[in-house]
């Protein structure tokens, strides 16, 4: 088990990108490519708090779209490549970039949720 001092020394970015537990930095966060585990195998942290929502998908769409569309436009302007070459290059690149980035960004957002103790907003009733 780790205490709060150990958790404060663990970098959320480093653990998130590696897919490690945000508390201990050792246990795996994912069970497969994108499925979140129920809890950490090392320290027992429950991942019930983790809700990355659509955030990772939005970031991936923007980042991957910027890279792929920019490269495709650059290639079209400089080489006047045929359509089949664009399909052969950009479709696989888009799939690889999207899947890789989705796992990295999902891990990053979940570790930052833990580090900042983010929770669902609640309204207080007065009186």
Phi, psi of 30 (to 5 degrees): -105, 145
Q: How high is the pLDDT of residue 2?
A: 47
For residue 36, tell me if it sits in a domain.
Answer: yes
* Sequence-ordered strand ranges (E) for 3-122: none
For residue 26, tell me if it sits in a domain.
Answer: yes
| Res. 90 pLDDT band, cuts 50 70 90 | very high
pLDDT in tens, 111-120: 988 888 877 7
Phi, psi of 117 (to 5 degrees): 50, 45
For residue 125, tell me if it sits in a domain.
Answer: no
For residue 126, tell me if it sits in a domain.
Answer: no
Mean per-residue pLDDT over the chain, rounded: 86
Identify the domain containing residue 77 by its residue range.
Answer: 4-115
For residue 120, tell me if it sits in a domain.
Answer: no
Q: How high is the pLDDT of residue 1?
A: 45
Residues 6+ apart with CB under 8 A from 31: 37
For residue 122, tell me if it sits in a domain.
Answer: no
Residue 104: closest CA among 33, 9, 46: 33
Q: How high is the pLDDT of residue 98?
A: 94
pLDDT in tens, 39-70: 888 888 888 888 878 889 999 999 999 999 99
For residue 54, tell me if it sits in a domain.
Answer: yes
Query: Which of 72-76, 90-94, 116-120 has the least mean pLDDT?
Result: 116-120
Mean pLDDT in residue range 9-24:
86
For residue 69, tell me if it sits in a domain.
Answer: yes
Mean pLDDT in residue range 6-22:
80
State how many domains the chain has. 1
Residues 62, 57: Cα–Cα separation, whole Å: 9
Classify residue 35 by its DSSP letter. Answer: P
Check whether 7 has a pLDDT greater than 60: no
Classify residue 54 by its DSSP letter. Answer: T
Please report where in the chains the tokens 């079209």 appear, as a residue.
76
């Amino acid at each position: 088990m780790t205490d709060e001092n150990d958790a404060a020394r663990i970098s959320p970015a480093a653990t998130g990108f590696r897919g490690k537990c945000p508390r201990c930095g050792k246990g795996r966060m994912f069970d497969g490519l994108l499925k979140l585990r129920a809890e950490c195998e090392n320290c027992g942290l429950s991942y019930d708090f983790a809700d990355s929502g659509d955030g990772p998908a939005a970031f991936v769409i923007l980042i991957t779209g910027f890279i792929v569309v920019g490269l495709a436009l650059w290639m079209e302007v400089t080489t006047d490549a045929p359509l089949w070459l664009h399909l052969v290059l950009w479709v696989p690149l888009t799939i690889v970039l999207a899947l890789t980035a989705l796992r990295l960004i999902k891990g990053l957002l979940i570790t930052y949720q833990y580090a900042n103790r983010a929770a669902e907003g609640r309204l207080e009733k007065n009186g």
